[in-house]
Amino acid sequence: MTDATLPEQIALKLRRDILRGTLAPGDPIKERDNALDLGVSRTPLREAVRILAKEGLVLLRPSRSPVVADPSLKEVRDAVVVLQALETLSGELACREASDAEIAEIRALFERHHALSETAEGDALIELFEVDMAFHTAIARASHNPALAETHAAYLARMWRQRYLSAVQRRARERVRSQHENIVLGLEARDPARVGAEINAHLAALINNLTRLFEAREAGRDTTSNERDIE
């Protein structure tokens, strides 16, 4: 018996497919076909789809195939604003609640992210990005508020794809590194105001970055230097 329940496993697989682009935004997810493809029955696949729907990755429509979500700029921005509030709160609480070991772990993730960010190319970018996610998730967990950590993780997952596109850009890496470092320093000093301000700034920059990305995508395919073609 595996730790993860079957619907969770299916959800995980579908999530990766969605976020990597194998399942393009707008694609319908037909219960029967996908169930057959994965060799499972419709029931657990159905549950998996519900999980993804709750995460905001797929859209449920009454009496219609669920479709992979294709969030507008406003929707992404709205979500990041919430994420900003959640993560700022996490950081402030972590200053009070986190153990030294947890803060050390956060620093370790920062260092690893930094190292990877200098060399990573191609497929390694996914690892780079997963370390990035782990960094932010670790902060949320360090708040010692499970509900907060869970909601934070949900928002993070919801924007996996957008954040991925953003994190891949070379131009943003130096800024990200410096902001991450400031966050870590703030945590080590256990200075809530500083950590809060740094996280706020970090996510505000993310919003700008995503906005630019969206506008570039709207404009056309000419700007291929940073944006990798997924579809």
Partner DNA sequence: CAATCGCATCTGGTATACCAAAAATCTGTT
Partner DNA sequence: AACAGATTTTTGGTATACCAGATGCGATTG
CA geometry: angle 112, 146, 57, nearest 5 deg: 75
| Comparison of 71 and 186: residue with beta carbon closer to a second copy | 71
According to the binding rule CB under 8 A, does residue 27 interact with a second copy? no
| Comparison of 65 and 151: residue with beta carbon closer to DNA | 65
Q: What is the closest distance, in whole angstroms, from the C-beta atom of residue 224 to a second copy in the complex?
A: 29
Is the distance from CB of 222 to CB of 229 less than 8 angstroms?
A: no
- Out of 36, 81, 115, 193, name the contact with a second copy by CB under 8 A: 81
Contact of residue 66 among a second copy, DNA, none (CB under 5-8 Å per partner type): DNA
Q: What is the closest distance, in whole angstroms, from the C-beta atom of residue 174 to DNA in the complex?
A: 44
Q: What is the closest distance, in whole angstroms, from the C-beta atom of residue 115 to a second copy in the complex?
A: 33
Cα–Cα nearest to 69, from 150, 14, 145: 14
Contact of residue 89 among DNA, a second copy, none (CB under 5-8 Å per partner type): a second copy
| Comparison of 94 and 168: residue with beta carbon closer to a second copy | 94
Number of residues that bind DNA (CB under 7 A): 23
According to the binding rule CB under 8 A, does residue 146 interact with a second copy? yes
Q: Is 182 helix (H, G, I), strand (E, B) or coil?
A: helix
Q: What is the closest distance, in whole angstroms, from the C-beta atom of residue 121 to DNA in the complex?
A: 38
Spell out the SS3 assignment of 10-62: HHHHHHHHHHHCCCCCCCECCHHHHHHHHCCCHHHHHHHHHHHHHHCCEEEEC
According to the binding rule CB under 7 A, does residue 30 interact with DNA? yes
Q: Is 68 helix (H, G, I), strand (E, B) or coil?
A: strand
List the beta bridge partners of residue 113.
none
According to the binding rule CB under 7 A, does residue 173 interact with DNA? no
Contact of residue 44 among DNA, a second copy, none (CB under 5-8 Å per partner type): DNA
According to the binding rule CB under 7 A, does residue 229 interact with DNA? no
Residue 88 region, left (φ>0) first, then alpha (ψ -120 to 50), else beta? alpha
According to the binding rule CB under 8 A, does residue 153 interact with a second copy? no
Q: CA-CA distance, 25 to 21, in Å (whole number)?
A: 8
Within 13 Å, how many C-alpha atoms sit on residue 82's CB side?
A: 14
Rg of the chain over all Cα atoms, to the nearest angstrom: 18
Rule CB under 8 A: which residues touch a second copy? 2, 5, 43, 47, 50, 54, 56, 62, 75, 78-79, 81-82, 85-86, 88-89, 93, 145-148, 151, 155
